[in-house]
Chains A and B, each alone.
Chain A
């Protein structure tokens, strides 16, 4: 991407081991990418770890040891059912990541397809797709999830679908906007002149060229999905017990604010860490993948 850039000779020795021309060389020097990547890895690692090991079984109810303060046995204490907070937090990462991945995949597959179609077909097709994505803006994730929950009953699947649908218009607009810019480029003209059809041009030229923009946006959308999932679970419309979830933990903790205030602190901090990590990672990726998009700093 920027092959001609190289490390200045007077760069500190420590950084010179990382050649500036490779992606990872630049990435590991990018502050928000490194911090965001580390925080995101932490969340992923927690989720993976919870698959094989948690200090206590996360769903194990032990009323005798409820609302314990932090101790050697329960590092962050226990909740009102005597469940171990650390175990719940680790297992909660799993739901968060699952919901995020599926919802963003729904948003990406529909949004990118619609955007590419709008951009390739133009005319009425484009107009219809864009007007459609305009008015789905009127339904934020919480609102569409509430509608779905009202008819289909609350649950993880309902919330995933609602969050996924809510992601579609943003991704459609972004895809179409960036694809239109590619369609105007000379190499697309050359491809058309050589007889390639709209479908081949879209797959071979447009999509690869907007991929980095999509990756960056997918990271940001992932963060938004986590926030939406947390809000829905908090309201009782998302992930249902006994499936552990950070939003749900906050809901439980809220009834005990006066007895054990710290219970409300950990799950929220976990959500904030996951979202902050993804946002920073997205910012970093934007700078690294496409320097032209680098935001004003």
Chain B
């Protein structure tokens, strides 16, 4: 077990370093001069040079990269080119929205997907199975931002139960905040749940065909008991893999969905920073998102080994 975890930790670190190099190269090496981009094409050469020195962009690439990494490790991400405020606090402000949004969406995804997946597998080839599976086929095809717009049309424009966008914050208690994240998280969750439901269904069906299921039934356990106590645990491995991968899509999805609902989260911060040419903010936000994706997938991998001790043998 410890060898497996150690190996995975090393891969994790290598992946994080690789991702940081790519992000740095794409965002800081390609455009040539961030100062020029900030000041526009008609800025005087002297002014551009002064800003370049002020932002520390005259240092060699490797030095700037190491400075960035050193900063990342101690939580000092530098100052925004545009606002002059620390990037870390800009990001922290936005995470208060994006993290609850991601968690809510994942919860809704899991509840929807597992109930649909288990229901359809238990009712294999019956009318309910066919119906729910057709629904998931449509769910997969829906662009999540369009589904979000449809939800706004129904709940904000037509029924006027919820507001069409904006974030109430957490100052007046938890409920107003959750209420303003409700539509965004549902629209993120439905498409993901459609995929996960299909994965759950085939995983459960696969396990149902195993010998130990027949044995459990033969020793007198009811269908329901077998399903809940024997089948589900074994079906969770593929389901968790997909959940880990979906988390990446979910984070990317928040960028789009935050824009639909005008939510001041990390996604909108990235978006505004691109418009403002604030590359230092973009770089740190993208790194944060990439790191979250990689770390979640690492956690999933390690969790497998606990759920199913056979995994580490395969992987070594």
Residue B14 CB within 8 A of the other chain: yes
Residue B30 CB within 8 A of the other chain: yes
* Total interface residues in chain A, CB < 8 Å: 45
Q: Does B138 lie within 8 Å of A151, measured CB to CB?
A: no
Residue A139 CB within 8 A of the other chain: yes
Q: Which of A132, A141, A271 has the most CB of B within 10 A?
A: A271
Q: Does A134 lie within 8 Å of B15, measured CB to CB?
A: yes
Q: Which of B143, B157, B201, B248 has the most CB of A within 10 A?
A: B143
Contacts of B138 in A (CB 8 A): 272, 276
Q: Does B145 lie within 8 Å of A151, measured CB to CB?
A: no
B residues 241-259 in Cβ contact with A at 8 Å: 245, 248-249, 251-253, 255-256, 259
Q: Does B248 lie within 8 Å of A138, measured CB to CB?
A: yes
Q: Does A268 lie within 8 Å of B282, measured CB to CB?
A: no
How many Å from the CB of B185 to the closest CB on chain A?
A: 17
Q: Does B248 lie within 8 Å of A137, measured CB to CB?
A: yes
**Looking across the interface, which residue of chain A has its beta carbon closest to that of B29?**
A151
The stretch of A44-52, A79-87, A192-200, A257-265 that contacts the partner chain: A257-265
Residue A150 CB within 8 A of the other chain: yes
Residue A147 CB within 8 A of the other chain: yes
Contacts of B253 in A (CB 8 A): 142
Residue A296 CB within 8 A of the other chain: yes
Q: Which of B145, B249, B291 has the most CB of A within 10 A?
A: B145
The stretch of A17-25, A110-118, A210-218, A229-237 that contacts the partner chain: A229-237
Q: Does A257 lie within 8 Å of B152, measured CB to CB?
A: yes
Our pick among B26, B137, B147, B164 for the contact of A148 (Cβ within 8 Å) is: B26
Q: Does A147 lie within 8 Å of B27, measured CB to CB?
A: yes
In the bound complex, what is the Cα–Cα distance between A264 and B158 (angstroms)? 14
Q: Does B282 lie within 8 Å of A139, measured CB to CB?
A: no
Q: Does A138 lie within 8 Å of B293, measured CB to CB?
A: yes
Size class of the contact patch on chain B: 35 or more
Q: Does A138 lie within 8 Å of B19, measured CB to CB?
A: yes
In the bound complex, what is the Cα–Cα distance between A223 and B137 (angstroms)? 13
Residue A227 CB within 8 A of the other chain: yes
Q: Does B294 lie within 8 Å of A135, measured CB to CB?
A: yes
Given A135-B294, A140-B248, verify A275-B202 contact (CB < 8 Å).
no
**Looking across the interface, which residue of chain B has its beta carbon closest to that of A262?**
B153
Which residue numbers of B lie inside 8 Å of A, CB to CB?
11, 14-15, 18-19, 22-23, 26-27, 30-31, 125, 137-138, 140-147, 149-150, 152-153, 156-157, 164, 201-202, 205-206, 245, 248-249, 251-253, 255-256, 259-260, 270-271, 273-274, 277, 279, 282, 286, 289-291, 293-294, 297
Which residue numbers of A lie inside 8 Å of B, CB to CB?
131-132, 134-135, 137-143, 146-152, 223, 227, 230-231, 234-235, 247, 250, 253-254, 257-258, 261, 264-265, 267-268, 271-273, 275-276, 279-280, 295-297
Nearest 7 pairs of A and B residues by beta carbon: A268-B146, A276-B141, A140-B252, A275-B141, A142-B252, A138-B290, A135-B15
Chain A to chain B contacts (Cβ below 8 Å), 6 pairs: A135-B15, A146-B274, A150-B27, A250-B149, A253-B149, A275-B140
